[in-house]
Amino acid sequence: MTHPVIRIRDGQFGYRNQVAVRAALEIESTEIVALLGPNGSGKTTLLKGMLGLVDRIGGSVELFGQPMREFKDRSLIGYVPQRQSAAGSIPVTVRELVRSGRTGRNWSGSSRAAGRQAVADAIAAVGLADKATDPVSTLSGGQQRRAMMARALAGGANVLLLDEPFAGVDQANQHAIADALAALVPGGATIVVVLHELGPIEPMVTRTICLDGGSVLYDGPLADAPPRLLHLGHDHDPHGGEPDGAGGADEMGLFRR
Amino acid sequence: MIAALRILDYDFMRRALIAALLVGLAAPAVGIFLVQRRLALIGDGLGHIAITGVALGLLLNSAPVPFALLTAVAGAVAIELIRARREAFAEIALAMLFYGGLGGGVVLASQAPSGSRNLGQYLFGSIATTSAGDLRTFALLAVLVLAVSIGLSRSLFSVSNDDEYARASGLPVMRINVVLAVLSALTVVVSMRIVGVLLVSALMVVPVATAQLVARSFRQTFAIGLVVGVIVSVAGVVVSFYADTPPGGSIVLLAIGVFALVFIATNLGRLIRR
């Protein structure tokens, strides 16, 4: 029997003992899911909850039918964080950054040549082949986002979790990211993407989950979603986009357990 | 040239130069990951903690190196456990650990049979004091530090570069951080005869900072950092022999001098090209 890629039962996620979002859901293989909601709605916290990056205060998370702690094959799941820059204080080339996406893989199995090929393929998939040996810090913000997407793909992931991939990214880079995502669909990829507006991936989305105030208000096909919920994010600059919680707590959505 | 080679006639200088070579290699090899993690000053804290170990050795009239090794490694593990809790008081707890180490060292050393006179050698280095036994320990530790920092470089890089992503990709982030802290502690011990535990942090950071001015990749930064580390530590020992200065201070000033020269050269180059 096949398990859902991600199954959350009575999930309560947050920081320390403060619940920021509650959700119960299953994401099946090949679904393209948009997690929509305004800043502070808890969508980033929910995505991080699926990866074990925030505190799970209640409920359970299963990945491919296994409890999160027991699930070892993390290279199946690629994560693209919402970060304006992937550059640290030490120069790092695009290739070095992308290669770090393979560090979590089991050491046995693939040869060095296969690893190099996977890294080159991932860089080509996001259209950065001509930048492979450039320091990441010399890239634009949108190109850095593409490099982080290549990092998520380099480990051979067929499940991709992205946090606001279009926020603060110019049109050309938005389309490059959307094209790279669309190219994954024929291969049977599962994609979960946090957005505050649908943007260029709208045609691909098979399911929308709308959040506000830390809970799920709608879960279903985009066509049936109440327009009111889809436009929650439009209070904000549609193409600029403020960081949703900027890696910390969604303070707006915090409420006591 | 012949006169310069004369310093090799002295046993203590041969040992000092080899020890300088070892710390010149080990310090930047670990330091690059600390700089990447934005924890450049952790080596300084570990140095403070090691002082208690040095003083214990002096107090018990035994070799200070093994005691320094034990306290620095214990301190390194404690630092990571405290940091991992991400509590508001973590920074204060670290400060207490660091200055408690220094305070404890000074007090313990004052009670040693030889008094606290000898403590200065360990704080700022001394070329005359490296024994053959010390050298064997340092060589072993330096080889271990280099082997682990190169062997685990991918994991150390991933965690230092983006620890949230590393956690998402299933790396044992906590364990890798403890390994890095222990490597830093071992480097502090390797440095204690030549650079001194109070100045070793500079040798972890400054050669890496110099390398990143000219390098275009992490790998280049690593290689150039090691070359700069070896040059300044060996040259610093030679300078301290002729100028009769403490080697630790000489090495650090040389390292900063090299950084300044490279900084000026790269920025002049940029200005001219404009």
Judge whether B131 and A58 are in contact, CB under 8 Å.
Answer: no
Longest dimension (CA), chain B: 64
Backbone angles phi, psi at B128, to 5 degrees: -90, -5
* Nearest-CB residue to A79 (from B155, B168, B219): B168
Q: Is the pLDDT of residue A159 over 80?
A: yes
- Please give the structure tokens belonging to residue A202: 């709208």
Name the pLDDT band for A232 (thresholds 50, 70, 90): low
* pLDDT of A149: 95
Q: Which residue of A15, A72, A90 is the best one to mutate when testing the B interface, meaning the one whose CB has the most B CBs within 10 A? A: A90
Which residues of chain A are within 8 Å of residue B219 when distances are taken between CB atoms? 96
* pLDDT of B269: 80
Q: Span A75-103, mean pLDDT? A: 89
Judge whether B110 and B152 are in contact, CB under 8 Å.
Answer: no
**DSSP output for chain A:** -PPPSEEEEEEEEEETTEEEEEEEEEE-TT-EEEEE--TTSSHHHHHHHHHT-SEEEEEEEEETTEEGGG---GGGEEEE---S----SS--BHHHHHHGGGTTS-SSSS-HHHHHHHHHHHHHHTT-GGGTTSBGGGS-HHHHHHHHHHHHHHTT-SEEEEE-TTTT--HHHHHHHHHHHHHHGGGT-EEEEEESS-GGGGGG--EEEEEETTEEEEEE-GGGS-HHHHTGGGGS-TTT---SGGGS--GGG-B--
Q: Span B64-89, mean pLDDT? A: 87
* pLDDT of B90: 79
Is B216 in contact with A133 (Cβ distance < 8 A)? yes
Is B168 in contact with A97 (Cβ distance < 8 A)? no
pLDDT tens for B155-207 read: 999 999 998 999 999 899 999 999 999 999 999 999 988 999 999 999 999 99
- Average pLDDT, rounded, for chain A: 85
Whether the pTM exceeds 0.80: the reply is yes
Q: Which residue of B165, B219, B266 is the best one to mutate when testing the A interface, meaning the one whose CB has the most A CBs within 10 A? A: B165
CA distances (Å), A132 to each of A44, A92, A147, B105, in order? 29, 10, 9, 50
Measured distance CA(A16)–CA(B174) in Å, rounded: 18
Q: Is the pLDDT of residue A255 over 60?
A: no
Residue that wins the pLDDT comparison between A238 and B190:
B190
**Where would I find the H helices in chain B?**
2-5, 11-36, 42-59, 64-84, 90-110, 119-124, 132-151, 153-161, 163-168, 173-191, 200-214, 218-243, 247-273
The percentage of chain A sitting over the pLDDT mark of 70, rounded to a whole number, equals: 87
Q: Return the number of CB contacts < 8 Å for A and B.
A: 85
* pLDDT of A147: 95
Name the pLDDT band for A129 (thresholds 50, 70, 90): very high
Measured distance CA(A110)–CA(A107) in Å, rounded: 8
Helix B173-191 with B132-151: angle, nearest 10 deg:
150
Judge whether B34 and B43 are in contact, CB under 8 Å.
Answer: yes
Q: Are strands A190-195 and A32-36 parallel, antiparallel or unpaired?
A: parallel
Classify residue A195 as left (phi > 0), alpha (psi -120 to 50) or beta.
beta
**Residue A83, Cβ neighbours under 10 Å: how many?**
19
Which residues of chain B are within 8 Å of residue A75 when distances are taken between CB atoms? 169-170
Q: What is the DSSP letter of B129?
A: -
Considering only alpha carbons, which residue of chain A is nearest residue B31?
A90
Complex ipTM: 0.89
Measured distance CA(B196)–CA(B19) in Å, rounded: 12
Q: Is the pLDDT of residue A256 over 90?
A: no
pLDDT tens for B212-255 read: 999 999 999 999 999 999 999 999 999 999 999 999 999 999 99
Which residues of chain B are within 8 Å of residue A103 when distances are taken between CB atoms? 154-155, 157-158, 166, 169, 171
Q: Return the SS3 of B103.
A: helix
Which residues of chain B are within 8 Å of residue A155 when distances are taken between CB atoms? 169
Which residues of chain B are within 8 Å of residue A132 when distances are taken between CB atoms? none
Q: Which residue of A68, A99, A103 is the best one to mutate when testing the B interface, meaning the one whose CB has the most B CBs within 10 A? A: A103
**DSSP output for B26-66:** HHHHHHHHHHHTT-TTHHHHHHHHHHHHHHHHHHTTS-HHH
Is B169 in contact with A91 (Cβ distance < 8 A)? no
Nearest-CA distance A117 → chain B (Å): 17
Is B161 in contact with A97 (Cβ distance < 8 A)? yes
Which residues of chain A are within 8 Å of residue B220 when distances are taken between CB atoms? 91
Judge whether B47 and B252 are in contact, CB under 8 Å.
Answer: no
